[in-house]
Structure 1
Amino acid sequence: MTPPTRLPATGERSGAVLARLQLMVTRKLDGLLQGDYAGLLPGPGSEAGESREYRPGDDVRRMDWPVTARTTLPHVRRTVADRELETWLAVDLSASLDFGTGRWLKRDVVVAAAAALAHLTVRGGNRIGAVVGTGAPVPDRTGRWRGGAPAAGPGTLLRLPARAGRKEAQGLLRAIAGTQIRPGRSDLGALVDMLNRPPRRRGVAVVISDFLAPPQQWGRPIRKLRVRHDVLAIEVVDPRELELPDVGVLPVVDPETGELHEVQTADPGLRRRYAEAAAAQRAAIAAELRTAGAAHLRLRTDRDWLLDMVRFVAAQRHARTRGTTR
C-alpha cells in the first residue's frame, strides 16, 4: 500500500504545495466549469429570462402562467443567474480528518476541495469566506487533558470573512491549511449554524466533513441553511472506514479520544459486521443529506478527487440544463 501523501500545514513548503495544488486545479477546471455564478454551480438566479416548455422535475413555482394560457402548454420562466454573490465554506477539521490510508490524508482532501471551490468562485467578483472547526482537548482515562488545557465550548470555531479576489482566496486557503487539528471533535451542527448567523443573501454554502458526527447533530442546521442557499455537502471518506483488511491483529487508535484498541482482522465475521455497520452509517448520512435537500458529493482518499469533482459538477450542470436540480 502506498503511504498517504501529506499536505504540510505551515511554512514556505505549505505555500509551495498550495501553489502546485492551485495549478493542478486550474489546468483541470479552466474552460470546463464557470466560476462567475453563485458558487460552484450556476445558481437559479432571480432575474426573469425566457420561457420554455415545462419538463418533469421543474420547479412549479416558476410556472409562466400567461405563456401557458396562450399556448395551452405548460411553460416555466427561466431565470438569469445572479452574479457577484457569496460562497461560504464550513470546513470540519476534527481529529478524525487527520487520517488516511490511500493516496491522501482526509485532511488533504478537505484542503484540496476547498482550493477547487475557491478557484471556481473567485472570478467575476464573487466573494468566498469560510468557517473552520477543529476539536477541543479531551481528557484521557486518568483525567488529564490531551492537547493542552480545556477549551471553552465544543471545539475551536474560526470565521474567515468573505472577500473577493484571488489574493484573498489564497490567504483563506493558507489559513485553512495552517489550522492545527486538535484532539476531540468539533460540533458540526454549531459549525453549520455559523453560516446561518447572521442571515445572508442567497448564495452557495458548502459543508466539507467526514460527517461522522450523529446525523441528528447536523441535519437540522443543514435543513435550515437550505432554506436560503444552495447547499453542497462534500463527504470525505477513507477506504478503511468502509472495510477492514485481513492483516491479523490491528492496533487502532481513536484520534478523537486517544483510546487504543486491538482488532483481530483475521476474523471474517468481524470484517463482515464492520462492513455492514459502515454501509449502514454511510446510508444514514446520505439519507439525512437527501432529506435536507443538499447536493451530495463523496470524495475518497484512494481516488482522483479532482476527477470525481469534475464529473459531479458536470452532471449537476447537465441536470440544471435539462430542468432538474438533482
Structure 2
Amino acid sequence: MTSPPDRLLRRLEWRLGRRLDGRLQGNYRTVWHGAGIDFTDLRLYSAEDDVRHIDWNVTARLDEPYVRQYTEDRELTAWLVIDRSASMRFGREKGKESTATELAVAIARLVSRGGNRVGAILFDNLSHRVIPPRGGRDQVLRIAGELLRPAPRGKPGATTDLSAMLHLAATTTAKRRSLVFVMSDFIGDPGWDRPLARLTHRHEVVVVRVVDPAEVELPDLGMILVEDAETGEQLLVDTSDPLLRGRLAEQAGAREDELAAGMRRAGVSAQRITTDQDMLTVLVDMVSRSGRDRR
C-alpha cells in the first residue's frame, strides 16, 4: 500500500510529464540554472548586465566599465521556504496550505529531475523544520511527507512573524547562492520587505503569494461566523450587507496596494496563485517566465 506522500508525488509526476516535458530544454531537465563561481574572462559592460559583476579595479584602470564573467555551474541548489502559519489553513475547498503543498512538491520534483538538490524550510510561529538539500526522488518524498503532516496550532492572538521566517531562510541558505522559492499568503506582522530584500541580494528568489478568492471578495452567504485564523477572534457578520461588502473590498484593495509596495521595495515580482486555479497552469507560467527572463 502506497503512502500519502507517494500517492501525491505519483499524481503530480504524471501531470508534470504531460504538461511540462515539451517546455523543458534539452537533456538538462530544468529551466532554472545554477549560479557559477569560477571566473573566466572580462568584457565591456552592457545595459543588461548586473552591476554587481562590474570589476571596479579594471574599470578604473581602463576608464571604461568592465564586468567579470563566470563559468555557469549546472548544479542547482533550490530551497522551498513555506509559510505554515494558521492563516495558510484558510480556504473553502482546497485551502492555501494544500495549494502551497502541491506547488512545492511539484517544484521539488521538477528541480530534482535535473540532478539538482532541493531543501525545505517549513515555518510557523511555534517551531520550524529545516530539511537539508539533497537530490533524488526520496528527498522529494521526504519533503512531501513533512508538508502533509498537520502544522502545530499557534497561540491565540499571535500573528505570523514573516521577518523571522525570511531571516531564518537567509541564515540557513547563506553558504551557497541558491534558487529560493518563498511561499506565503503574506498575512502577518509588517516589516518583511527588508529581510526579503536581503534574501534577494544573495539569491535568486521566486516569491509565490497564495490567496483564497474569499479574502479578496467576500461571497454573499448571509449571516456567518467568521474567525481570524491568526488571532482566533470571532465575529458574526451579515455577508449580504452591501455596505459591509464595500468596506471589506476597500480594505482588501488597500492591502493589495500595501503588499505590492512591499514587493517593490524588496525588488521582487510576486507570482500570485489562488486556491481555485489549476496549480500546474501556474507552474507552467512560472517556467515560461523564467525562460524569458534568462534570454
User: Contact 2:218/2:248 (CA < 8 Å) preserved in 1?
Assistant: yes
Q: 1:21 to 1:181 in 2, by over 3 A?
A: farther
Q: 2:149 aligns with which of 160, 178, 187?
A: 178
* TM-score, structure 1 as length reference: 0.75
> How well do the aligned residues superpose, as a CA RMSD in angstroms?
3.2
1:270 is aligned to 2:260: no
1:34 Cα deviation from its structure 2 partner: 5.7
Instruction: Return the letter of the residue paired with 1:247.
Output: L
Partner of 2:61: none
1:258 Cα deviation from its structure 2 partner: 2.8
Q: 1:230 to 1:209 in 2, by over 3 A?
A: same
* TM-score, structure 2 as length reference: 0.82
Question: Equivalents in 2 of 1:35, 1:262: separation in Å?
Answer: 56
Which deviations, in whole Å up to 9, do the C-alpha atoms of 1:113-158 show, x marking residues without a partner? 1012102221343211111113xxxxxxxxxxxxxxxxxxx42111
Q: 1:37 to 1:201 in 2, by over 3 A?
A: farther
1:191 is aligned to 2:165: yes
Which deviations, in whole Å up to 9, do the C-alpha atoms of 1:181-228 show, x marking residues without a partner? 423454322222222225221111111111011331x22221121121
Partner of 2:262: 288
Question: Equivalents in 2 of 1:35, 1:87: separation in Å?
Answer: 20
Partner of 1:210: 185
User: Contact 2:161/2:189 (CA < 8 Å) preserved in 1?
Assistant: no
Q: 1:27 to 1:242 in 2, by over 3 A?
A: same
Which deviations, in whole Å up to 9, do the C-alpha atoms of 1:262-313 show, x marking residues without a partner? 1122221221221121122122222212221234111101111221221133
Give percent identity, aligned residues only.
39
Partner of 2:235: 261
Q: Which consecutive unaligned segments of at least 5 residues does structure 1 have?
A: 1-10, 66-73, 135-153, 322-326
Deviates more, 1:267-276 or 1:53-62: 53-62
Partner of 1:140: none
Instruction: Return the letter of the residue paired with 2:181.
Output: V
Q: 1:110 aligns with which of 93, 100, 104?
A: 100
Instruction: Return the letter of the residue paired with 1:276.
Output: E
Deviates more, 1:278-287 or 1:44-53: 44-53
Question: Equivalents in 2 of 1:220, 1:204: separation in Å?
Answer: 19
Q: 1:316 to 1:56 in 2, by over 3 A?
A: farther
Partner SS state of residue 261, structure 1? strand
1:94 Cα deviation from its structure 2 partner: 0.9
User: Contact 2:86/2:230 (CA < 8 Å) preserved in 1?
Assistant: yes
Partner of 1:26: 17
Paired residues in the alignment total 283
Instruction: Return the letter of the residue paired with 1:317.
Output: G
